[in-house]
């Protein structure tokens, strides 16, 4: 499956996807990386990896619709079958989202539906949650909404600062996103309403307790 990866910055999740795609048994191929910002550092990595890297600068367009016309055309020109948002900091209109319905996915640094939008880590710490994480979901018009494909849980530690928590969640993101993309590219995801079911779902992982059980075991 040919994927197009949308970025706005350094693109660390893009890098994780590109590295996963290098494995001979991985069911997806990075066809193009597109940034809406010409100064995005992730473009350099994509070019170094031999992947076409384009800029569709949203500031050069009079409207969101005009911007999205060229963004859509660039994706189609590279044979993209699935769009992967990876730190893409632009809200997309209903027209674009509908064109790529069930063919566009996004990663967000929280256990959705909690903490949609910005400052997820600050809000989690402020509210005293013990477990947070990250989610990969199919894109819908409402921000950080849509059927959830996969999630990873991350413990919130005492005295965590937002940057500390963000770094641990990002490590989980780099593993979760390639895993979720594999599920989609292999055709193992089924969407019914707002629920994703996975064909051949694996056995449950051990339960994560936070704080840990005492005594351990």
∠ CA 107-152-144, rounded to 5°:
30
What the block records as the tokens of 38 is 């010409």
DSSP 139-205: --SSTT-S-EEEEEEEEPPTT--HHHHHHHHHHHHHHHHHHHHHHHHTT-EEEETTEEEETTPPPPP
Out of 58, 72, 78, 108, pick the active-site residue.
108
Distance (Å, whole) CA 121 – CA 74: 34
Signed CA dihedral, 39, 43, 19, 27: sign only: positive
Query: Would you give the DSSP letter of residue 60?
Result: G
58 included as an active-site residue: no
CA nearest neighbour of 146 among 108, 182, 109: 108
Residues designated catalytic:
108
């Amino acid at each position: 499956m040919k994927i197009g990866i949308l970025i706005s910055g350094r693109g660390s999740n893009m890098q994780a996807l590109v590295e996963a795609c290098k494995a001979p048994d991985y069911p997806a191929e990075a066809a193009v990386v597109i940034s809406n910002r010409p100064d995005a550092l992730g473009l350099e990595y994509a070019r170094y990896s031999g992947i076409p890297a384009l800029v569709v600068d949203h500031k050069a367009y009079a409207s969101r619709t005009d911007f999205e016309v060229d963004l859509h055309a660039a994706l189609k020109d590279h044979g993209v079958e699935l769009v992967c948002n990876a730190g893409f900091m632009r809200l997309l209109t209903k027209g674009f989202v509908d064109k790529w319905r069930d063919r566009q996915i996004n990663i967000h640094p929280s256990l959705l539906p909690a903490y949609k939008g910005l400052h997820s880590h600050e809000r989690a710490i402020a509210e005293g949650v013990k477990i947070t994480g990250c989610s990969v979901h199919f894109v819908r018009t409402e921000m950080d909404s849509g059927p959830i494909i996969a999630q990873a849980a991350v413990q919130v530690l005492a005295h965590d600062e937002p940057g500390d928590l963000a770094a641990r969640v990002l490590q989980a993101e780099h593993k979760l996103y390639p895993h979720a993309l594999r599920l989609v590219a292999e055709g193992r995801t089924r969407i019914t309403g707002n629920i994703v079911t996975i064909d051949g779902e694996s056995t449950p992982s051990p339960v994560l307790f936070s704080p840990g059980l005492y005594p351990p075991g």
